[in-house]
Structure 1
């Protein structure tokens, strides 16, 4: 390929990248505003120009060939560089301005991020924020999101990860429920109680605990199962039983005594724990609008996490 020949296949490179990311000509075509047949033709033109097959096409799936995997990595670098070029004005501006798109899981977005974003908007009048609420792993590069908040024990490779705060799951129940059904002193007491679990996976009703060197696992059941943490909190408040909840969801009800913490001296080993991380693609020249939002959230959440008192436990 000649020195400038690549210029005529730049659109084809972007199309190939989106097809490879999404694993579908139809999905990529929807994203790019073209027909699936047009997307397919662009990828074929790129393969012809490069002289190698990039995708193995079957009736059920698309798979990158070995040269296709290398081309995918190069095209992704190209798109990142192009996105960075579009942000040059922002990077050299002294005043943060423009739109920041940030994605986060629903409960965390509503209960944790939202109040601090309101404060941020008051401090930075030239910056706008779009909060994208999604209970799935959002790809900031593919989906055009500047920042992503993810709750995990291991941040993904290929993205810069800044730790926002620990995320702990705890057990809570209404005082009236415990008064009717008795105190819970050990995890082995839980099978005799109604327990509100997630129900997303087969073993979500297998609750595991640790206290020092001692571990315990119990199988629980209850009359109400939901994969929405605020629904489980409502169930606990209604006296339906013991709910597993993110600590940030339970906090207001704990603080005013509507629920109390159960087995506070045991660590609940649920699937959804670790830390909340704010993620973004590697970028040596981050736009000021993104940098100030990251620093604002880091400062606000680290301060609020360190300043919390231990929740009251059930006696």
Structure 2
């Protein structure tokens, strides 16, 4: 396709990106100061020029075709490059706008991310947040996610990332429970206690500890397992046993003395410990809404 043929399609490509971002012809038209029929015609012209159906239309929603996903990514890059050219000129800095789609582990989203969302929305009134709390793996393109927060040693191949904070776990119990059942002095003492663990995998009840060069694993047992840190915290507060908790979940109860650390001289290791990263598709030009969110979140989680 020659430059003369391409130039008229640039506007259609920009309209296509806006339609995908907002998920609606009518809403895209409203934001662009146009009409739904004009937006529909622009998408039809783009599909005809490219020789492919980009959007699958149903009565309830719009969905990208496989070709549409690839075209959308390139059209996004085009707009990001244009915006970068404007920003580099020093004459204009776009205010972040549009919907930002997040995928966040349940506990991290509830305890660490959600508390800061109201301030972010107040600071950036043109950005909307859609946050999915889900511990499963997501494909950022297929699941239409802008940024995923995951606990990992390093970003997976094909993704870019920014480290946010270290996630540490510890064992806790109430002073009342320990007064009644005794305080463990060694990890092996946990075998005599009721332990509250995640319970999703068999390995969740095999607690791992390190101390200097020492490494050991203890098979614990208990009457209650729960795959939500808030529930495990409440179970600990109800004197049901010694629970495994992320520090961010236990912080407030520890500060007030309602619970205390157990075996603090040992390092408690889980598969869910490590660095929390913000992961996003590789791009030379970060969308302003994503850049603003990453900078905001990094600043908040550092303090």
Separation of aligned partners in 2, 1:33 and 1:77: 13
- The aligned counterpart of 1:276 is 276
Q: Is the 8 A contact 1:90 1:96 kept in 2?
A: no
- What is the SS of the residue equivalent to 1:244? strand
Equivalent in 80, 83, 95 of residue 73 of structure 2: 80
Partner of 2:135: 135
Check the 8 A contact 1:90/1:289 in 2, yes or no.
no
Q: TM-score, normalised by structure 2?
A: 0.74
Contact 2:102–2:146 (CA<8 Å) still a contact in 1?
A: yes
Paired position in structure 1 for 2:221: 221
Supply the distance in 2 between the matched residues of 1:135 and 1:116 (Cα, whole angstroms).
20
Residue pair 1:205, 1:220 contacting (<8 A) in 2 also: yes
2:49 and 2:273 map into 1 onto residues whose CA distance is 47
Equivalent runs, 1:291-310 vs 2, <5 Å: 291-303=291-303
Partner of 1:94: 94
| 3-state DSSP of counterpart to 2:148 | strand
Question: Per-residue displacement from partner, 1:47-67 (whole Å, max 9, x unpaired)?
Answer: xxxxxxxxxxxxxxxxxxxxx
Is this contact kept in 1: 2:193–2:241, CA < 8 A?
Answer: yes
Give the C-alpha shift of residue 126 in structure 1.
Answer: 2.5
Show the counterpart of 2:151.
Answer: 151
More off after superposition, 208-217 vs 80-89: 80-89
C-alpha contact 1:90 1:97 (8 A) present in aligned 2: no
Q: 2:200 is matched with which residue?
A: 200
Question: Could you tell me which residue of structure 1 aligns to residue 114 of structure 2?
Answer: 114
Contact map agreement 2:80 2:285 (CA 8 A) in 1? no
How many pairs align? 249
- Match for residue 234 of structure 2? 234
| Alpha-carbon distance, 1:230 to partner | 1.1
Larger mean CA deviation between 131-140 and 218-227 belongs to 131-140
Identify unmatched segments of 5+ residues in structure 1: 16-29, 44-71, 304-315
Assess, with a 3 A threshold, how the Cα gap between structure 1 residues 8 and 292 changes in structure 2: closer, same or farther.
closer
Q: Distance in 2 between matches of 1:274 and 1:227?
A: 18
Deviation digits for residues 18-38 of structure 1 (CA, Å, limit 9, x no counterpart): xxxxxxxxxxxx99759xxxx
> How far apart are residue 275 of structure 1 and its match?
1.0
Match of 2:53 in 1: 11
> Which residue pairs with 1:265 in the alignment?
265
1:97, CA displacement in angstroms? 2.1
Measured after TM superposition, the shift of residue 88 of structure 1 is: 6.5
TM-score by length of 1: 0.71
Paired residue for 1:188? 188
Q: Distance in 1 between matches of 2:80 and 2:275?
A: 30
3-state secondary structure, aligned to 1:227: coil
Q: Which runs of 5+ in 2 are unaligned?
A: 6-47, 87-92
Q: Counterpart of 2:17? A: none
CA distance in 2 between counterparts of 1:105 and 1:246 reads 13
Q: Counterpart of 1:250?
A: 250
After superposition, give the CA deviation of every residue in 1:98-125 in whole Å (9 maximum; x if it has no partner): 2212221111111100112222122222
CA–CA separation in structure 2 for the residues paired with 1:271 and 1:287: 32
Alpha-carbon deviation of 1:138? 2.0
Distance 1:8 1:116 in 2: 42
